């Protein structure tokens, strides 16, 4: 069964450093998402991406964040200058279609646990 994969599974970084989290969505999916979950808190939407541009983003997704699809398979989330409060589990997801459409189910990856020291 196809699945979303994410690397690395864990990342430890120093405050102020840049990190890139990587995701490989399911191959025939066209819509890509990033979410985060701070320990003990809710899953929060960050951004959605389609056709090489951001479709929608939340208030959390500020100028420190960026997303990219550098090739036909990877989807990345970059945090330019990490803060302590960026420590969280980051989930990538993908879907065939937009929410509300046929094939809209989002499939989540296992997550990358980011710890900022």
Return d(Cα 72, Cα 84) in angstroms, integer.
32
Q: How many residues does the chain have?
A: 117
Q: Looking at beta carbons only, is 10 or 83 nearer to other proteins? A: 10
Could you give the CA distance from residue 81 to residue 86 in angstroms, rounded to a whole number? 10
Of 94, 70, 68, which is closest to residue 80 (Cα–Cα)? 68
Which 47-76 positions form the footprint of other proteins (CB under 8 A)? 48, 56, 58
Q: Indicate whether 101 belongs to the interface with other proteins (CB under 8 A).
A: yes
Which residue has tokens 């020291």? 117
Residue span binding other proteins (CB under 8 A) among the ranges 11-19, 36-44, 64-72, 73-81: 36-44
Question: CB under 8 A: which stretch of 12-20, 40-48, 62-70, 72-80 binds other proteins?
Answer: 40-48
- Using CB under 8 A as the binding rule, whether residue 45 contacts other proteins is answered as yes
Pick from 39, 55, 23, 46: nearest CA to 115: 39
Nearer to other proteins, 6 or 82 (CB): 6
- Binding positions for other proteins, rule: CB under 8 A: 4, 41-45, 48, 56, 58, 91, 93, 98-101, 105-111
């Amino acid at each position: 069964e196809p699945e979303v994969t994410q690397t690395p599974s864990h990342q430890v970084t120093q405050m102020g450093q840049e990190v890139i989290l990587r995701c490989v969505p399911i191959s025939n999916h066209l819509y890509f998402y990033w979410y985060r979950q701070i320990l003990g808190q809710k899953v929060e939407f960050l951004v959605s991406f389609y056709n090489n541009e951001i479709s929608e983003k939340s208030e959390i997704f500020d100028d420190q964040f960026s997303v990219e699809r550098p090739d036909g398979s990877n989807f990345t989330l970059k945090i330019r200058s990490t803060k302590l409060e960026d420590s969280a589990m980051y989930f990538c997801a993908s879907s065939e279609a937009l929410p509300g459409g046929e094939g809209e189910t989002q499939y989540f990856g296992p997550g990358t646990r980011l710890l900022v020291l």
